[in-house]
Chain A
Amino acid sequence: MLKFTAEHEWLKLEDGVATVGITAHAAEQLGDLVFVELPEVGAELTKDGNAATVESVKAASDVYSPLDGEVTEINQAIVDDPSLVNSDPQAAGWFFKLKLKNAADADSLMDEAAYKELIA
């Protein structure tokens, strides 16, 4: 199941674990990324709290945690090569995996149709 937030993140949900990244729309708005800082594995994130930082040539931007949960895995590939977020934001450019505190919380997020309407 694919969900989206108003902060332009996507979540792919499987067995209570969300793979989280930023949307193609967000990646395009940010421009070429030159630096990515990810949370540590084991970090407890809270909904709307800081989860990661991305930087373009021009500016730094925060990436917020879409839900409460614990980080179980991070994508080192985007730390080594931030341009992966621009070239493949909704697959190879994923940020981290979050084991959700309450899997049902994801129900309140947007589906793809609602997100497309938001950015239209």
Chain B
Amino acid sequence: MDDHAVLKTTPLNALHISLGAKMVPFAGYDMPVQYPLGVMKEHLHTRAAAGLFDVSHMGQVIVKAKSGEYTDAALALEKLVPVDILGLKEGRQRYGFFTDENGGILDDLMITNRGDHLLVVVNAACKEQDVAHMKANLEGCDVTLLEDRALIALQGPRAQAVLAELWAGVSDMKFMDVREVPLHDVPCIISRSGYSGEDGFEISVPEAHAVDVAKALLEHPDCEAIGLGARDSLRLEAGLCLYGNDIDTTTSPIEASLEWALQKARKAGGDREGGFPGADRILSELANGTTRRRVGLKPEGKAPVRSHAKLFADADGATELGEVTSGTFGPTVEGPVAMGYLPVSHATAGTQVFAEVRGKYLPMTVAALPFITPTYKR
């Protein structure tokens, strides 16, 4: 089968090709994995200046109660995610995840209070299933996948300066704020968030204007187009999970060390305790702990240790402990970085474990996440 025959494209596809991108299939889309700059320089450029990423493959979904009340949409979505959505203020965004009856993670997502409705952004590979899940379970709500909008991420310490060329008001936004703003008269929805560990923005643009907005941002000398290769190394250095690698239906949010995403209102003793799929397990793990945890792993040598490498307690590979779920070379760290799951007995920072790589057992140290210092504008 010719993969390219069935691949979907984003509104920026022709722009990527004109910029010399190397295109690969990703989650059913023809996406840029790197540009002529290369993964290493793209990564370093994003941390030093600003990078523009096409993330239009992700699902942008409107959830609106038939009553027109935000409260009704928020309470409906709270039945699927262990997050305080009722308490989310208008123009604010929050991280969350859909859980299943076993307390596993179906997908992770960003949730915004847009006044009279919710805007939800989900992973590309999960979006059909997520929309079906919401349509089936959000009583009294209309669930609409927006098929006519691009999503452009602008990340890095110079992201604000780049975006300020199009909209001076950007400096008033804080981390996780969301505003609807015209950029060159194009109505855009801008959030101050991202997936790189840097300050930055995600800009939802009507598809007809996506190329104009992307080109206007790329005109700034500090802004370069960045591919999926660097997006992955940036998020891994920032300690952020990739759905399908680091979290999935076999990992609970507590095992995944994501308990920070559960607010008080949904936890034991909270106003709206539980009431989401898998609440029994997840609240029990919050109270009593889990047997394993997602941790950062720093290889002691120079060799990258990649996903699915098995982890052992000893240098002979006698006692298996777990598995690496993401691993690469971190250009900013200037060395290999990884994440994986370990029993709590071995999950304390500073613990040495061994990863099997090409028949050898390479020492790694459990490390605090993130590997870099984030520059979010809180």
Q: Does B13 touch A at the CB level, under 8 Å?
A: no
Q: Does A75 touch B at the CB level, under 8 Å?
A: no
Within 8 A of B (CB), among A10-64: 31-32, 34-35, 37, 53, 55-60
Is A57 in contact with B306, judged by CB distance below 8 angstroms? no
Complex Cα gap A58–B7 (Å): 22
Is B229 in contact with A58, judged by CB distance below 8 angstroms? yes
Provide the residues of chain A in CB contact with B232, threshold 8 Å. Answer: 58
Is B303 in contact with A35, judged by CB distance below 8 angstroms? yes
4 smallest CB-CB distances across A and B, nearest first, come from A32-B40, A34-B329, A57-B39, A57-B329
Provide the residues of chain B in CB contact with A59, threshold 8 Å. Answer: 306
Residues of B within 8 A of A (CB): 33-34, 38-41, 43, 229-230, 232-233, 302-304, 306, 328-329, 331, 336, 358
Main secondary structure of the interface of B (DSSP, over half): mixed
Known: A35-B329, A55-B329. A60 touches B304 (CB 8 A): yes
Known: A31-B34, A34-B329, A35-B329. A57 touches B40 (CB 8 A): yes
Is A31 in contact with B39, judged by CB distance below 8 angstroms? yes
Is B304 in contact with A34, judged by CB distance below 8 angstroms? yes
Known: A53-B358, A55-B329, A57-B229. A35 touches B304 (CB 8 A): yes
How many pairs, one residue from A and one from B, have CB atoms within 8 Å of each other in the complex?
Answer: 44
Provide the residues of chain B in CB contact with A31, threshold 8 Å. Answer: 34, 38-40, 229
Is A55 in contact with B303, judged by CB distance below 8 angstroms? yes
Provide the residues of chain A in CB contact with B302, threshold 8 Å. Answer: 34-35
Is B304 in contact with A32, judged by CB distance below 8 angstroms? no
Size category of the A interface is 10 to 19
Is B303 in contact with A57, judged by CB distance below 8 angstroms? no
27 CB < 8 A contacts A-B: A31-B38, A31-B39, A31-B40, A32-B38, A32-B39, A32-B40, A34-B302, A35-B302, A35-B303, A35-B304, A35-B336, A37-B358, A53-B358, A55-B304, A56-B39, A57-B39, A57-B43, A57-B229, A57-B230, A57-B233, A57-B328, A58-B33, A58-B229, A58-B328, A59-B306, A60-B304, A60-B306
Provide the residues of chain A in CB contact with B40, threshold 8 Å. Answer: 31-32, 34, 57
Complex Cα gap A58–B329 (Å): 8
Q: A34-B40, A57-B40, A59-B306 are in contact. List 19 more A-B contacts (CB 8 A).
A: A31-B38, A31-B40, A32-B39, A32-B40, A34-B302, A35-B302, A35-B304, A37-B303, A53-B358, A55-B304, A55-B329, A57-B230, A57-B329, A57-B331, A58-B33, A58-B39, A58-B232, A58-B328, A60-B304
Smallest Cβ-Cβ distance to A32: which chain B residue? B40
Smallest Cβ-Cβ distance to B328: which chain A residue? A57
Complex Cα gap A35–B306 (Å): 13
